[in-house]
Amino acid sequence: MRSAGCRGLLYCLRVMRTSLVFFFAALAFGGCAPARQASLEPASARARYFGDTTPPAENVLTFNLGAEPEMFDPSVAVGQPDGRVCRILFEGLTREDPRTLEPLPGQAYRWDITPDGLTYTFHLRPHLTWSDGRPITADDFRWSWLRVLRPETASRYAGLIFPIVNAEAYNKGMIHDERLVGIEATDDSTLTVRLAAPTAYFLYLTQFYTCLPVPRWAIEKHGNRWTRPENIVCNGPFRLAWWRQNDHFEFVRNPRYWDAAHVKLDRIMAYPVEDLNTSTNLYKAGVFDWNPSGYIPSQFIPYLRDYADFRHGNYQGIYFYSINVTRKPLDNPWVRRALNYAVDREAIANDLLKRSRDPWGNFTPSGYPGYTHPPAITFDPAKARECLARAGYPGGKGFPKISILFNTSEDHRRIAEAIQAMWKRELSIDVELSNQEWGSYLQATSALQYDVARRSWIGDYLDPNTFLACYVTGDGNNRTGWSNPRYDALIRSAAVELDAEKRLAILRDAEALLLEEGPVIPIYHYSTNELVKPYVRGIYQTPLDIHPLTYVWIDRQWQHRASEPPVATAIPARARREHGR
C-alpha cells in the first residue's frame, strides 16, 4: 500500500513551489498544444493532448516509477514501486488481466478447485524456464511461498497467505516442520495448496507480488544481494539490464519468457522521480510515455481534464479519519456519530479538492463485483447535533477540546481545517490541529497517541475483506482501539462462507456495523489520475492501479486509429481456452 501523499520532500519548499509552478503552468497551459503536433490531423483531429505526442523511435516504454523501490525481492517487497518492478520481472501462477485484473493463467495454465473450496491444484505450463535457463518447477513455488512464511525472512506481507493450512503457525514459529504447511509440490509441474478455510479471493493472491516465485539457488548464493542486476534471475516478461539507485531501471525483454513471442516492447525504462511537478514536466516534454496515478500535482487536475491523454477513474482507496475510542469523550459512540454526520464530504471533494476526488460515506470503496454497500453516512447537521446532545453535550457544552492529527502535508492541512470549521459550525465544538512528520505520525497512530487522525487505506485485492478485516479486535491496522465481538464474529463467518452472495451479505452487515459504531469517518474515495500518451497501447485504468506491462506496445500509427485496436495478445486465445477446469 502506498502511504498516500506522505513522502513530501521539504514540506514548505513544496508548498511554495507548487503554488509558483501552478502559476507558471496556468500561464503556459493556455497555448500549450505544442508546435510539433500541429501537423497531425485525421482521427485525433479535435483531441488535445498534454505535450509532445511523438512516439519513440524504438519499442521502448518510459515511465515514472514514483520512488526508488525499497526492495524488489518479491517475497519481502512492500510499496507500490517495489510491486511495479516485481511485476515486470516475475510472473506468478496467475497474472492480472490488464483491464479487469481478474486472474488469468500465468505460469500455471490451469487449476482445479475442490468443491469445498479448500484445495487448489495448479498445473504449470510445460517447458517453463528461468532467465538463466534452469527449468521452473512446482518446487520453486513451494520454496518461494515457504520463504515468505519463514520467520527469519521477516516478510511484511506474510499475513496475506495465512489462509493456507498452518501458514500462520509456521510464520509465528509455533511449528517448525515445513511439511505441515499446506503447500505441496506433487510433481515437477503440479502444486497443491490446501487452505484452512475457503478463501473466495485466493486466486487473486496468487498474482500478488508476495506470491511470485523466486530463484532459490541465486538467493542461497548471493543472499540479499541477489536482486542486483548481475545476480538476479527472473521468470517474467522482462529482465533487469541496468540499475542505479535513484537513477533508473532498464528492463529488456526476456527471451526465455513462455510468451516472449507476444511481448512487443524491447525495453522498459523506469525512473524514480519523486517530485510531482518534475514528473508531469517530463511527461509534457515527451520523456515519459506514462505518468502513473499519484504523480500529478492535485492542483493541475482540473486543468488536465480537457486533455485526451488524461484518465480519471476509481481507485480502491479511502481517505478517512480514525477515532481513538480509548480516549474520552470519543469512547462514546454518540460522539463519534455526531462527528461523522457533521462532515460535509461534498464540500471537501467538490470545492476544496476541485472534484479530483469523489465524496464517500462508506468504508469500502466502490467497484467490488457483487457487493452492495450499506447506506452511506451523509451530511446531516440536525442529526449530528441530536447525537451530540444524546452523548451529554447539548450544543457542544462541556465538550473537551480534541485535536486532529495529520502527517505534514498541505492537502491534509486544508482538509483538516475544513473539518475543524465544520465541527465548529455544526456542533459548536473546538478542535485543534496538530501535524507531525511521517515517522512521528506513524508512531503516534499505532501507539494510539491521538484523538482523531487522518488515515488512508488502499485495497490489496478486489474484495471488501481487504478493508473490513482491518477492524477486527487487535488487528495491527485497526489503530483505533475499537473492539466489537459482533463485528469480529461477522468477519470470521464471512471467511468460511462458501456461498459468494451470502458471504458478501455478511460483509455488508459488518460494514454497516462499522459505520454505525463510527470508529472511522470516511471522507473521500481515492481516484486514479494518470497521463498516458496516445501512442501507448495496453495500459488501462484499473481499480487497484496495477498495470501489467507484458503486452504494452507503441503504436506509431496512433493518429490514424480512432481507438485502441483489439489487442489479440492481451488475453491470448490459447490461455483463454486453457482457463479453469
Q: Which is closer to other proteins, CB of 463 or CB of 555?
A: 463
Q: Which is closer to other proteins, CB of 79 or CB of 381?
A: 79
Q: Which three cell numbers, joined as nine digits, stand for 316?
A: 480502491
Asked whether the beta carbons of 520 and 325 are under 8 A apart, the reply is no
Q: Which is closer to other proteins, CB of 7 or CB of 424?
A: 7
Distance CA(181)–CA(352), nearest Å, equals 51
Q: Which is closer to other proteins, CB of 128 or CB of 415?
A: 415
Asked whether the beta carbons of 264 and 60 are under 8 A apart, the reply is no
Give the sign of the dihedral formed by CA 579, CA 205, CA 2, CA 218. negative
Asked whether the beta carbons of 228 and 237 are under 8 A apart, the reply is no
Is 326 an interacting residue with respect to other proteins (CB under 8 A)? no
Is 229 an interacting residue with respect to other proteins (CB under 8 A)? no
Give the sign of the dihedral formed by CA 160, CA 166, CA 468, CA 111. positive
Distance CA(6)–CA(217), nearest Å, equals 37
| Distance of closest approach, residue 484 Cβ to other proteins, in angstroms | 19
Q: Which is closer to other proteins, CB of 109 or CB of 487?
A: 487
Is 241 an interacting residue with respect to other proteins (CB under 8 A)? no
Place of cell 462462507: 497
Is 505 an interacting residue with respect to other proteins (CB under 8 A)? no
| Distance of closest approach, residue 123 Cβ to other proteins, in angstroms | 32
| Distance of closest approach, residue 177 Cβ to other proteins, in angstroms | 18
Q: Which is closer to other proteins, CB of 91 or CB of 275?
A: 275
Selected range binding other proteins among 85-93, 296-304, 367-375, 431-439, rule: CB under 8 A: 431-439
User: Which string of x and - marks every residue 247-276 that binds other proteins (by CB under 8 A)?
Assistant: xx----------------------xxxxx-
Window 18-37: residues binding other proteins (CB under 8 A): 20-21, 24-25, 28
Is 483 an interacting residue with respect to other proteins (CB under 8 A)? no
User: Which string of x and - marks every residue 377-416 that binds other proteins (by CB under 8 A)?
Assistant: ----------------------------------------
Selected range binding other proteins among 10-18, 292-300, 415-423, 500-508, rule: CB under 8 A: 10-18
Q: Which is closer to other proteins, CB of 23 or CB of 217?
A: 23
User: Which string of x and - marks every residue 165-184 that binds other proteins (by CB under 8 A)?
Assistant: ------xxx-----------
Window 546-575: residues binding other proteins (CB under 8 A): none
Q: How many residues bind other proteins (CB under 8 A)?
A: 67
Is 366 an interacting residue with respect to other proteins (CB under 8 A)? no
| Distance of closest approach, residue 82 Cβ to other proteins, in angstroms | 11
Could you tell me how many helices (H) and strands (E) the chain has, helices first? 17, 19
| Distance of closest approach, residue 329 Cβ to other proteins, in angstroms | 26
Contact with other proteins (CB under 8 A): which of 201, 438, 540, 553?
Answer: 438
Contact with other proteins (CB under 8 A): which of 48, 225, 414, 560?
Answer: 225
| Distance of closest approach, residue 70 Cβ to other proteins, in angstroms | 6
Window 146-165: residues binding other proteins (CB under 8 A): 151-156, 158-159
Distance CA(295)–CA(230), nearest Å, equals 30
Q: Which is closer to other proteins, CB of 59 or CB of 449?
A: 449
Is 7 an interacting residue with respect to other proteins (CB under 8 A)? yes
How do beta strands 431-436 and 402-407 pair? Answer: parallel
Place of cell 538463466: 132
Q: Which is closer to other proteins, CB of 119 or CB of 153?
A: 153
- Scored b (16 or more CB within 10 A) or e, 294-322 reads bbbbbbbbebbeebebbbbebbbbbbbbb
Selected range binding other proteins among 281-289, 293-301, 325-333, 409-417, rule: CB under 8 A: 281-289
Q: DSSP labels for 215-270?
A: -HHHHHHHGGGTTSTTT----SSEEEEEEETTTEEEEEE-TTSTTGGG---SEEEE
| Distance of closest approach, residue 510 Cβ to other proteins, in angstroms | 20
- Indicate the angle between helix axes 11-29 and 410-427, nearest 10 degrees: 100
Asked whether the beta carbons of 464 and 504 are under 8 A apart, the reply is yes
* Adjacency order of strands within the sheet including 108-113: 108-113, 119-124, 190-194, 183-187
Distance CA(69)–CA(131), nearest Å, equals 22
Q: Which is closer to other proteins, CB of 345 or CB of 455?
A: 455
Q: Which three cell numbers, joined as nine digits, stand for 501?
A: 452472495
Asked whether the beta carbons of 66 and 81 are under 8 A apart, the reply is yes
| Distance of closest approach, residue 404 Cβ to other proteins, in angstroms | 17
| Distance of closest approach, residue 393 Cβ to other proteins, in angstroms | 32
Asked whether the beta carbons of 464 and 371 are under 8 A apart, the reply is yes
Place of cell 459548536: 428
| Distance of closest approach, residue 41 Cβ to other proteins, in angstroms | 22
Selected range binding other proteins among 135-143, 379-387, 475-483, 524-532, rule: CB under 8 A: 475-483
Q: Which three cell numbers, joined as nine digits, stand for 578?
A: 486453457
Distance CA(179)–CA(446), nearest Å, equals 35
**Pairs from 506-512 (Cβ < 8 Å, separation ≥ 24):** 507/364, 507/371, 507/464, 507/465, 507/468, 508/371, 508/372, 508/373, 508/374, 508/464, 509/374, 510/468, 511/362, 511/363, 511/364, 511/373, 511/374, 511/464, 511/468, 512/374, 512/375
Q: Which three cell numbers, joined as nine digits, stand for 436?
A: 507531525
| Distance of closest approach, residue 292 Cβ to other proteins, in angstroms | 15
| Distance of closest approach, residue 164 Cβ to other proteins, in angstroms | 16
Residues that bind other proteins (CB under 8 A): 1, 3, 6-7, 9-10, 13, 16-17, 20-21, 24-25, 28, 51, 68, 70-71, 73, 78, 151-156, 158-159, 171-173, 224-225, 227-228, 244-248, 271-275, 277-278, 281-282, 284-285, 287, 436-440, 442-444, 446, 455-456, 475-477, 479
